[in-house]
C-alpha cells in the first residue's frame, strides 16, 4: 500500500478519482438507457390499451379480453 507521504500520492489519487467518475458516468448512461426502454414499453402498452378501448361496444373475442386483462394488470 502506498502512503500519503510518498511524493506521487496526488497523481495516483487524481487518477483513481477520474476512474471512479468514469464508472459513475457509465452507470448513469446504462440507467438512462433502461429508463428509455421502459418508457417505450409503457407507451406501447398504453397505445395497445387505447386501441382496445376503441373497440368497446364492438365484438371482442374472449382471447382478446384475456390478453387485455394480462396487459393491463
| For range 43-56, the mean pLDDT | 89
Of the pLDDT bands very low, low, confident and very high (cuts 50, 70, 90), residue 54 is confident
Query: Is the pLDDT assigned to residue 25 strictly greater than 80?
Result: yes
Residue 19 lies in a domain: yes
Residue 1 lies in a domain: no
Residue 64 lies in a domain: yes
| For range 26-34, the mean pLDDT | 98
Contact call for residues 49 and 67 (beta carbons, < 8 A): no
- Is the model more confident about 41 or about 53? 41
Residue 68 lies in a domain: yes
Domain that includes residue 67, residue range = 9-72
Claim: this prediction has a pTM higher than 0.75: no
Residue 2 lies in a domain: no
| For range 18-22, the mean pLDDT | 98
Tally the domains of the chain. Answer: 1
Q: List, in sequence order, every beta strand (DSSP E) within the chain.
A: none
CA distance 19 to 72: 43
Contact call for residues 72 and 49 (beta carbons, < 8 A): yes
| For range 40-47, the mean pLDDT | 96
Residue 60 lies in a domain: yes
Amino acid at each position: 500500500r502506498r502512503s500519503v507521504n510518498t511524493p506521487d500520492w496526488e497523481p495516483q489519487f487524481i487518477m483513481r478519482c477520474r476512474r471512479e467518475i468514469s464508472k459513475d458516468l457509465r452507470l448513469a448512461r446504462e440507467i438512462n438507457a433502461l429508463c428509455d426502454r421502459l418508457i417505450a414499453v409503457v407507451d406501447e402498452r398504453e397505445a395497445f390499451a387505447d386501441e382496445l378501448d376503441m373497440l368497446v361496444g364492438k365484438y371482442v373475442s374472449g382471447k382478446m379480453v384475456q390478453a387485455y386483462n394480462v396487459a393491463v394488470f
